[in-house]
Amino acid sequence: MLFSKKPATLPDAESALPGRSSPISTASTHYVFGRDLQGPVPDGYETAVFGLGCFWGAERKFWQQNGVWLTRVGYAGGITPNPTYEEVCSGGTGHTEIVEVIFNPKEVSFAELMKLFLENHDPTQGMRQGNDIGTQYRSAVYTTSDAQAETAREMIATYEKALAASGHAAQITTEVKPLDKVYLAEDYHQQYLAKNPNGYCGMGGIGVSCPIGLGVTS
């Protein structure tokens, strides 16, 4: 079993899998919205990228959010170019499973998406999410602007205080970095729970509300 043993640490450039020069095959149409899955971002819309465990259940949370134009799942935050799902699951690429969210900021703010992100997983667990163990399940926000980065860090700090006040001593381990590249996942992963309504979800928050305070509204 080539990918049965998962490392708990991220690979460096020398040890990461080589990947490939061409993108892997994926879907052409969003199964829920019927829109071009790989089309351009509409004018005035923004992109946000979140990793919160298994991307099957995570994607559904975001496509159900008002103001979201499109969602697509993939891999980000790693080294290996154009990785496959099996390679990401091996821990040898450095990527985590993510949901790329294209949204209308006039209908939903990045802060509201951050709130959805924080409340629907446990951001204190490091290289895992519940029973899903591995570097590909780490909590992450890959930002596409300085404003997103500032909002993400402010809200994480606020949520950490809310967790402490509720008796959760663990610190948040969410990775916040500028987005480098999203590699779209294979066809069968896209909108998986719309295609398989009884499929594995794995989503679960801590049960603590994340406040959106004054000055955290972008």
pLDDT per residue as tens digits for the range 185-218: 999 999 999 999 999 998 889 999 998 753 444 4
Report pLDDT digits (tens) over 106-150. 999 999 999 999 999 999 999 999 999 999 999 999 999 999 999
Interior/surface letters 3-31, b for 16+ CB within 10 angstroms, e for the rest: eeebeeebbeeeebbebeeeebebbeebe
Pair 170, 124: CB distance under 8 Å:
yes
User: Which residues make Cβ contacts (< 8 Å) with residue 115, sequence separation at least 6?
Assistant: 155, 210, 212
210 is catalytic: no
Dig out the tokens for 201 from the structure: 């979800």
Pair 73, 99: CB distance under 8 Å:
yes
Phi and psi based region of residue 207 (left: phi greater than 0; alpha: psi -120 to 50; beta: remaining):
left
CA distance 55 to 186: 12
- Is the confidence at residue 82, as pLDDT, over 70? yes
Active-site residue identified among 54, 89, 201, 210: 54
For the whole prediction, is pTM greater than 0.85?
yes
